Amino acid sequence: MDPFIYEAADETATDALGAALAEALPDGAVVGLRGTLGAGKTRLVQAVAEATGVDRSLVVSPTFVLIQQYRGRRPVYHLDAYRLRDEDEFEALGPEECFEGGGLTLVEWADRVEGSLPRDRIDVRIDVTGPESRRFEVATRGGGYEEVIRRLSDRLGRGGD
């Protein structure tokens, strides 16, 4: 299936994508986030968490804590691989507990721990296109997430402007 492309003109449009993701993702979903520093990975996690009932001000980058868990209508696990040396360090954190936790797991800097992520997942690549604008490419990896792409397309179309 082709990836879902979403052009977000500003942070409000990024928030709309996060809310749509929270609605479209099934329990137990793992999302790998990729993008440069400042691309909006944490902003997207804030929007997903807020859509599940979490106060967005509680959602901060887990760069130093590495794993955060937020309790909304379903758990949101927020992992950050930026400061990790390798996949062994990531695996020592016990991410499989998050992957199997029945909530939503979002991993920032997923490209650094690719081999430790579940084969079946959603990957989101974020490209900076302007001071507030971003291009999001949401793709399925493995199987089982095609419905997420369809639901995003139905809800958001092919835009965000």
- Helices 11-24 and 146-156 pack at an angle, to 10 degrees, of 140
CATH number for the segment(s) 4-156: 3.40.50.300
pLDDT at 158: 59
Which range (12-16, 80-84, 133-137) has the least confidence?
Answer: 80-84
Angstrom distance (rounded) from CA 4 to CA 1: 9
Domain boundaries, the chain: 4-156
Q: What percent of the chain has pLDDT over 90?
A: 74
What mean pLDDT is predicted for residues 33-40? 95
Statement: residue 86 has pLDDT above 60: yes
The amino acid occupying position 96 is: E
Task: Extract long-range pairs of 142-151: CB within 8 Å, 24+ residues apart.
Answer: 142/118, 144/120, 145/29, 145/120, 145/121, 146/1, 147/24, 148/21, 148/24, 148/25, 148/26, 148/29, 148/122, 149/1, 149/2, 149/3, 149/4, 151/20, 151/23, 151/24
Inter-axis angle of helices 41-51 and 11-24, nearest 10: 50
Helix (H), strand (E) at residue 22: helix 11-24
pLDDT tens for 122-156 read 999 999 999 999 999 999 998 889 999 999 999 99
> What pLDDT score does 52 carry?
96
Give the pLDDT band of residue 37 (cuts 50, 70, 90): very high
- pLDDT at res. 93: 86
